[in-house]
Structure 1
């Protein structure tokens, strides 16, 4: 494994058209040689955004058609194994093209091995303001939450890089606002979905049901649904964690920005005791 660059201003540095090197800011919470999935999830959206922008430019040059007007409505990630803190390659392809519905797939490869596969649905946007609404209650504003030193529970460079404001109501039940001053990719602006998504996987760590020094509960997937585009610099998480009796768990989150609820995230967990030695 190569040593990651220590660049405090970004989670990743571009090394090629489709390759990225993580900095120590992307270091995971379960093991120092792993990447935290949260910034990687955002990086995948960033790579998909770049791919679709390139496709639109090529399409316009070939046919003169305008930009597609589609927005990310769902992205699901399958985590296929350990994600080493090392250079990764992200390849993207269109699975189902369309003017109103499009499905895109991305694969992350490290050392010749696929470690994440993601599928993203893009849907056409139109004005449905007259019927818009949700039963999800908005979170209080970030300034109404107390700062929380997440490093008191979790380690790693990623956890050290984020600003967390949290309210815990019970073990496995908490709400939090997250932000970060760290760029996703050095020198590259990120779109609103990538900037938002790069903090979402943190949900599994803000509402712990059991101490991570006694129990392991990593997630093997992440699925995010959006019913509108995120806005602003805060990611809000209203999170509940459930452990079942047979080694499985679910982390469920209502997602918020400063305007209110905007979607949901689900993570399946493998729950097992930590063993000494």
Structure 2
């Protein structure tokens, strides 16, 4: 299966048709480029015993299905935590996405577990859920991204309401034939929180995120990510999407998106 990207040179990538989003064939879904920025930050001056704690991606405009150049810098160095920044730019020099991540020391293996009462493995699994082929957004066109991920809905979805429980997995590689890292798998899917919960007619209403902020307490185990997602909008103001992220062992983190809520036309 075609990967999302092919590496052309150090920090330079060809975007394949697999990155194309649901609205325009020449614009990427924001999940793959967000994951690409995380990959580059993971590879930037790596240090043993450290991990990405969170990734916040700001979407500055449409990301073209075209070559991208990614640069990474350390904004704040430190022994226990450091702040990284990655930027993806098109050939015209325009930055399309900027991501920042805190890279922190891993907690000791014997650090006490902190969890809310009653937390444990999810009450459902991918095997329990119904498979949806293609885009989960009602009225959206078939696209490369939609063919590169698999969704299995436990509840909600396909225009049923503003909350959804869904399992998803990435079917292809992010770059060339590499095995995606846990962070990369999460970001490819987490940007779809607004899509899997959107219950309005996209031909009449627009609900598009301008950012994606994900924080993980631990790494994803396996391919499947569970998203317990809810979208909210307030007339005269705006909207948000909030996701509780889990794998088959239990909760791993949260996702948050600020949404532009507008009428079409």
2:126 aligned partner: 142
Instruction: Compare the two structures and name the one with the higher helix fraction.
Output: 1
Does the Cα contact within 8 Å between 2:170 and 2:188 map onto a contact in 1?
A: no
Does the Cα contact within 8 Å between 1:42 and 1:199 map onto a contact in 2?
A: no
Indicate which of 81, 85, 100 corresponds to 1:105. 85
CA distance in 2, matches of 1:91, 1:223: 20
* CA deviations over 1:63-116 (Å, ceiling 9, x no partner): xxxx2x111111111111111111111100111111211110111111201111
Is 1:172 aligned to residue 162 of structure 2? yes
* CA deviations over 1:97-141 (Å, ceiling 9, x no partner): 112111101111112011111110012112355333135673511
User: Which blocks of at least 5 consecutive residues in structure 1 are unaligned?
Assistant: 1-7, 57-66
Indicate which of 242, 246, 255 corresponds to 2:236. 246
Does the Cα contact within 8 Å between 1:168 and 1:207 map onto a contact in 2?
A: no
Does the Cα contact within 8 Å between 2:163 and 2:197 map onto a contact in 1?
A: yes
2:145 aligned partner: 158
2:105 aligned partner: 124
**Paired residues, number:** 255
Displacement after TM superposition at 1:17 (Å)? 0.3
TM-score by length of 2: 0.90
Distance 1:247 1:211, change over 3 A: farther
CA distance in 2, matches of 1:139, 1:113: 45
1:62 aligned partner: none
Indicate which of 217, 223, 226 corresponds to 1:227. 217
1:213 aligned partner: 203
Give the secondary structure class of the aligned counterpart of 2:41.
helix
Indicate which of 246, 261, 265 corresponds to 1:271. 261
CA distance in 1, matches of 2:216, 2:116: 12
CA distance in 2, matches of 1:44, 1:139: 33
CA distance in 2, matches of 1:128, 1:224: 25
Distance 1:247 1:149, change over 3 A: farther
Does the Cα contact within 8 Å between 2:225 and 2:245 map onto a contact in 1?
A: yes
User: Which blocks of at least 5 consecutive residues in structure 2 are unaligned?
Assistant: none
TM-score by length of 1: 0.87
* CA deviations over 1:211-263 (Å, ceiling 9, x no partner): 22221111000000111111111111100000111251101000111211110
Over the aligned positions, Cα root-mean-square deviation in angstroms equals 1.7
Paired residues for 1:3-152 under 5 Å: 8-53=1-46, 56=47, 67=48, 69-110=49-90, 111-125=92-106, 126-127=108-109, 129-134=111-116, 138-151=122-135
Distance 1:139 1:242, change over 3 A: farther
